[in-house]
């Protein structure tokens, strides 16, 4: 489902908190909204979820104008900084809240997908912070949402758990084709997760673009971003290699690394040889390959 935010303004009394906000998220895309504290991220997220009313402007979900609809009527699924699992329900019961019709096999499959196999009967307090967020993710996605709003879902986790969770969120939302908006103050996180990043400062969108473009053009992204050192093994489900004219050999993508917003792929040729290509096509066209994400 495509999401469009058009010319949205928000005032609290005389305080103009958001000015002329335009954001569009293509169906199945992950967009990050990044900005420093006080820039208006939470306010925009609340407007999108229907927890707050716009002063002017329009919010559209697909063909539906949802600007004046209540949160329930909008049907947005949200995931927050801290898991909002119900403590008196076990993991399984929490997941079922979003999807009452789940069969035992489907439920087990969700537990498996988020790495909580066999933990369905565990109490919430028996799970670590990272496990609780993974259970929240299963609850959110089991409800088959069209649109998922992520409000700093990683900020209570340590660095390895953050990376784990964001890889998992990306993988599962891509598999399900869920349109996703991530709100974060963390530039690195935005660059690593999103297809397109919007930068919010003092209530205005001051820049937007793909991570690759922003890493080359935006002063906000140019400096000081930590390089991600780990290579994430990829399920190559949505990735294919596109051979150029010179060769019709197909390759298998085995790993993905994101550095400064540029995606690098380790690929394996039919002969077993491995080589590293980047999402910047010009770099490796000479190798005879173009690697693209298949939509
Ligand atoms: N209900 C409200 N009434 C008055 N001012 C508000 C209200 N909610 C937010 N604001 C103001 O709007 C501005 C943006 O706040 P917001 O919480 O949206 O920023 P943020 O980017 O999410 O910040 P943080 O990352 O610190 O949560 C701030 O100046 C804040 O004081």
- Dump pLDDT digits (tens) for 121-147: 999 999 988 899 899 999 999 989 999
pLDDT at 256: 65
What confidence tier does 156 reach under pLDDT thresholds 50, 70, 90? confident
Nearest atom within ligand 1 for CA of residue 46: 18
Q: How far is the centre of ligand 1, averaged over its atoms, from the C-alpha of 117 (Å)? A: 39
Rg (CA), the chain: 20
- The residue among 259, 271, 251 whose CA lies nearest residue 231 is 259
Close Cβ partners of 250 (under 8 Å, ≥ 6 residues apart): 240, 241, 243, 270
CA torsion sign for 229, 235, 239, 240 is positive
Which residue has the least CA distance to atom 18 on ligand 1?
A: 40
Q: How far is the centre of ligand 1, averaged over its atoms, from the C-alpha of 68 (Å)? A: 21
Q: Which of 10, 18, 40 to mutate to test the pocket of ligand 1 (most atoms within 8 A of CB)?
A: 40
| Pocket, ligand 1, Cβ cutoff 6 A | 12, 15, 17, 35, 37-43, 185
Q: How far is the centre of ligand 1, averaged over its atoms, from the C-alpha of 44 (Å)? A: 9
Q: Is 104 exposed, middle or buried (0-12, 13-18, 19+ CB in 10 A)?
A: exposed
Which residue has the least CA distance to atom 26 on ligand 1?
A: 37
Q: How far is the centre of ligand 1, averaged over its atoms, from the C-alpha of 38 (Å)? A: 5
34 and 192 Cβ atoms separated by less than 8 Å? no
For residues 211 and 250, the model is more confident at: 211
- The C-alpha atoms of residue 117 and residue 139 are separated, in whole angstroms, by 14
Q: What is the largest CA-CA distance in the chain?
A: 67
Q: Is 136 exposed, middle or buried (0-12, 13-18, 19+ CB in 10 A)?
A: buried
Average pLDDT over residues 153-174: 83
Task: Tell me the pLDDT tens digit for each residue of 203-222.
Answer: 999 989 887 777 767 666 65
Average pLDDT value for the chain: 81
Q: How far is the centre of ligand 1, averaged over its atoms, from the C-alpha of 24 (Å)? A: 22
Average pLDDT over residues 102-117: 93
Close Cβ partners of 132 (under 8 Å, ≥ 6 residues apart): 83, 85, 124
What confidence tier does 12 reach under pLDDT thresholds 50, 70, 90? very high
- CA distances to 75, 166, 233, 238, 251 from 292, rounded to whole Å, are 32, 21, 17, 9, 12
pLDDT at 294: 47
The b-or-e profile of 17-49 (16+ CB within 10 A means b, else e) is bbeebebebeebbbbbbbbeeebbbbbbbbbbb
- The residue among 75, 67, 60 whose CA lies nearest residue 24 is 60
Q: Which of 8, 10, 13, 15 to mutate to test the pocket of ligand 1 (most atoms within 8 A of CB)?
A: 15
What confidence tier does 65 reach under pLDDT thresholds 50, 70, 90? very high
pLDDT at 242: 58
Q: Which of 13, 42, 55, 155 to mutate to test the pocket of ligand 1 (most atoms within 8 A of CB)?
A: 42
pLDDT at 237: 35
DSSP 126: G
Q: Which of 17, 21, 33, 48 to mutate to test the pocket of ligand 1 (most atoms within 8 A of CB)?
A: 17
In 165-251, the DSSP E strands lie at 179-184, 196-201, 204-209, 232-233, 239-243
162-166, 214-218, 251-255, 259-263, range with the lowest pLDDT: 259-263
Nearest atom within ligand 1 for CA of residue 52: 1
Average pLDDT over residues 46-67: 95
What confidence tier does 252 reach under pLDDT thresholds 50, 70, 90? confident
Average pLDDT over residues 30-37: 91
- The residue among 33, 26, 78 whose CA lies nearest residue 203 is 33
What confidence tier does 290 reach under pLDDT thresholds 50, 70, 90? low
pLDDT at 54: 97
DSSP 86: -
**Position 238 pLDDT exceeds 90:** no
Which residue has the least CA distance to atom 25 on ligand 1?
A: 37
- The C-alpha atoms of residue 46 and residue 118 are separated, in whole angstroms, by 35
pLDDT at 43: 94
Q: Which two three-digit tokens encode residue 50?
A: 């229907």
Strand 196-201 to 232-233 pairing: unpaired
Average pLDDT over residues 266-293: 63
Average pLDDT over residues 189-210: 90
Report the complex ipTM.
0.96
Which residue has the least CA distance to atom 2 on ligand 1?
A: 12
Average pLDDT over residues 72-77: 86
- The C-alpha atoms of residue 143 and residue 273 are separated, in whole angstroms, by 42
């Amino acid at each position: 489902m495509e999401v469009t935010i058009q010319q949205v303004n928000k005032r609290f009394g005389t305080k103009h908190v958001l000015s002329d906000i335009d954001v569009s998220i293509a169906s199945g895309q992950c967009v990050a909204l990044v900005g420093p504290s006080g820039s208006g991220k939470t306010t925009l997220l609340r407007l999108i979820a229907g927890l707050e009313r716009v002063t002017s402007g329009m919010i559209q979900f697909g063909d539906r104008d949802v600007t004046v609809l209540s949160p329930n009527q909008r049907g947005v699924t949200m995931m927050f900084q801290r898991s909002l699992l119900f403590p008196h329900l076990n993991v399984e019961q929490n997941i079922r809240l979003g999807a009452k019709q789940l069969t035992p096999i489907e439920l087990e499959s969700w537990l498996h997908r988020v790495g909580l196999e066999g933990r369905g009967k565990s109490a919430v307090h028996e799970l670590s912070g990272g496990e609780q967020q993974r259970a929240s993710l299963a609850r959110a996605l089991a409800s088959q949402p069209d649109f998922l709003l992520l409000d700093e879902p990683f900020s209570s986790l340590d660095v390895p758990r953050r990376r784990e969770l964001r890889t998992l969120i990306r993988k599962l939302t891509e598999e399900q084709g869920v349109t996703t908006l991530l709100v974060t103050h963390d530039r690195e996180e935005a660059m690593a997760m999103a297809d397109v990043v919007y930068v919010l400062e003092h209530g205005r969108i001051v820049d937007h673009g793909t991570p690759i473009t922003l890493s080359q053009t935006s002063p906000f992204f140019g400096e000081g971003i930590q390089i991600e050192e780990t290579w994430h093994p990829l399920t190559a489900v949505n990735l294919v290699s596109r051979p150029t004219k010179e060769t019709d050999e197909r390759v298998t993508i085995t790993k993905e690394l994101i550095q400064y917003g540029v995606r690098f792929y380790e690929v394996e040729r039919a002969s077993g040889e491995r080589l590293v290509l980047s999402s910047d096509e010009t770099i490796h066209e000479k190798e005879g390959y173009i690697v693209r994400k298949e939509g």
